[in-house]
Amino acid sequence: MRRAVFLDRDGTLIEEANYLSEIRSLTLFPYTVDAVRLLNQSGFAVVVVTNQAGIARGIVKEAFVAEAHAVIDARLAVGGARIDAYYYCPHHPDGSIAAFRKDCDCRKPRPGQLRQAAADLNLDLARSFVVGDRWSDVDAGEAVGARGVLVRTGHGRQSESKNRASATVTDNLIQAVAWILRQP
Ligand SMILES: [Mg+2]
Ligand SMILES: [Zn+2]
């Protein structure tokens, strides 16, 4: 079984764009390619897990999410980095699109996306990590026995101000990766 690092997308892997809906607003952080490549080289599966309630709210279509992920893949590939799999939750309990209006198990902090990835990729969740800019990211990981790291990018500083005991917090994704690689 493989260890994984689950990465939140918006505010963690790429800049927070408040419902990303245009490719021109898709911006990788300067260290994103290096961070992902380091995880690749260290043998971790790198899995994006992202809440995309913009789909339920009618702001973006699933085809756009797929296009955005293809663009991220292309930009990572230039630097020899690779995402092993993407998962997203298209739902929201108050969504305007009936097909996606749902109290689901895959919207973080619920761990449905992580569980699905573990089943698909044969992942060892108890030896895995999750990195995100909201406590709901960390909670999704902890719900399945993974360790969480909060980053201060995106909504992270706001999240950090809602203090939690014994949480690991780093400035950004590359520092989170450096921390993960130091863990036994
Ligand atoms: Mg986020
Ligand atoms: Zn969902």
Q: What is the pLDDT of residues 44-55, one digit of tens each?
A: 999 999 999 999
* 94 flagged as catalytic: no
Tell me, in angstroms, the distance from the centre of ligand 2 to residue 106's CA.
4
Residue 101 forms beta bridges with which residues? 92
Residue from 173, 119, 118 nearest 150 by CA: 173
- 147-151 and 168-170 as β-strands: parallel, antiparallel, unpaired? parallel
Helix, strand, or coil (residue 24): helix
- Decide: 16 and 55 in contact? Cβ < 8 Å: no
Mean pLDDT value of segment 103-115 = 98
Provide mean pLDDT across the span 94-116: 97
Residue 163 scores a pLDDT above 80: no
Is the pLDDT assigned to residue 167 strictly greater than 90?
no
Distance 93 CA to ligand 1 centre (A): 19
Q: Verify whether residue 10 is a known catalytic residue.
A: yes
Rounded to the nearest angstrom, the distance between the alpha carbon of 50 and the centre of ligand 1 is 7
CB 125 within 8 A of CB 114: yes
